[in-house]
Structure formats: C-alpha cells, structure tokens
C-alpha cells in the first residue's frame, strides 16, 4: 500500500498536467477535423476539409483580405460559402415566413459563437463572402486558426465574426 500511494499521486499529477495543457493550447490541426451542421435542417451533416474541396467550383471562393498594416501583404483565403453548406444540409422552411425567424450560429471549439440571420446569408451580398475556410495563401490553415474556420469577409471589421477552430453550425428558429 505504501508504494501504491506515490504512484497514484504521480499518475494524478501527470493526468492533471496533460489536461491543463490541453486547455491552455488549441489541439493540433488534424486532417480528420470536421464541422457539424445541425439544428433546423433536414439532414444533419459533418464535413471535413476534403469534403469542402469537393463542392461545386462556383461555391469555392477566394477572398482577398488586406494586411492589418498598410505595408503588410494581403491574405488570400479559400473556402466554401456558408450558404452552400446550409443548402447541402437543407434548412427546414415549412413556409415562406419561417426564414425570417432563423438564426445561424457558428461555434468554435473554445465556445466562441457568432450569429447570422438567414436573410444576411441568402438575401444580401454579405452572404457571398461568409466562408467556411480551409486554406490561407495556398496552404492549409495554421494551428492558430484550426483546420476549419469561418469569416464574414464583407464585415467592416472581420475580427468579431472570424471563428477559429470552427466546430459546429446550428440553424435555430429564434421566434415562434
């Protein structure tokens, strides 16, 4: 029993250290990372980077964002329109007024969330540049962004609706 206790303390300390490290830094990017699309959709789906690359060419968009400083080069982001992803899952719209009541919530693995209305995505120019990203400057996204991210490229300030480590997209009816 006396040799069991030190081993138990060591095992608990190591387990706590691994757990604490996992919360302090994002998980490394893996090719198997996926985004789940669910909520008020006909078919819940889960998409990987490879799945997104298979979308129709007219739904894969390159977006050029200026550098943060005037002398910084622009970044070229590549992704699929969120609208196309939602169309693949088939948003439930029992009548023409339902769309007026729908919110689309994009969530990161750390709990960060951003919201879009159905009208923003499907009935305005903004929807053309809300992208589920998988590439920056011809390369996979960095570990800081995760394998998948989301950005609203038409926003004046893109930061507040830039979801790094995109994990889920949920369609929700916000009023009855």
pLDDT digits 0-9 by tens, 53-102: 999 999 999 998 776 656 667 889 999 999 999 999 999 998 888 999 99
Strand partners, 106: 114, 169
**How many structural domains does the chain have?**
1
Query: Global pTM?
Result: 0.78
pLDDT number for residue 70: 61
* 21 falls within a domain: no
* 74 falls within a domain: yes
* 93 falls within a domain: yes
Burial 55-70 (b: 16+ CB within 10 A, else e): beeebbbebeeeeeee
* 157 falls within a domain: yes
Tell the residue number behind the tokens 């769309």, with chain if given. 99
Q: How many CB atoms lie within 10 A of CB 47?
A: 21
Q: How many CB atoms lie within 10 A of CB 164?
A: 20
Give the residue numbers spanning the domain of 90.
Answer: 29-173
Choice between 27 and 83, residue whose per-residue pLDDT is larger:
83
* 80 falls within a domain: yes
Q: Report the CATH number that the domain containing residue 120 is assigned in CATH.
A: 3.90.420.10
**For residue 86, what are its two tokens?**
């939602």
pLDDT at 24 over 50: no
């Amino acid at each position: 029993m006396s040799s069991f206790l030190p081993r138990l303390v060591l095992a608990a300390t190591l387990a706590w250290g691994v757990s604490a490290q996992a919360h302090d830094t994002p998980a490394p990017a893996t090719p198997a990372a996926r985004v789940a699309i669910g909520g008020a959709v006909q078919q819940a789906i889960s998409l990987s980077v490879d799945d997104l690359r298979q979308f129709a060419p007219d739904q894969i968009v390159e977006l050029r964002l200026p550098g943060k400083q005037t002398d910084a080069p622009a970044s070229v982001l590549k992704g699929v329109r969120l609208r196309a992803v939602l169309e693949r899952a088939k948003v439930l719209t029992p009548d023409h007024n339902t769309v007026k009541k729908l919110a689309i919530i994009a969530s990161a693995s750390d709990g960060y969330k951003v919201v879009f209305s159905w009208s923003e995505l499907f009935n305005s120019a903004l929807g053309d540049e809300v992208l589920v990203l998988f590439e920056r400057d011809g390369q996979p996204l960095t570990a800081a962004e995760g394998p998948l991210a989301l950005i609203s490229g038409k926003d004046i300030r893109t930061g507040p609706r830039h979801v790094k480590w995109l994990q889920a997209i949920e369609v929700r009816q916000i009023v009855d």
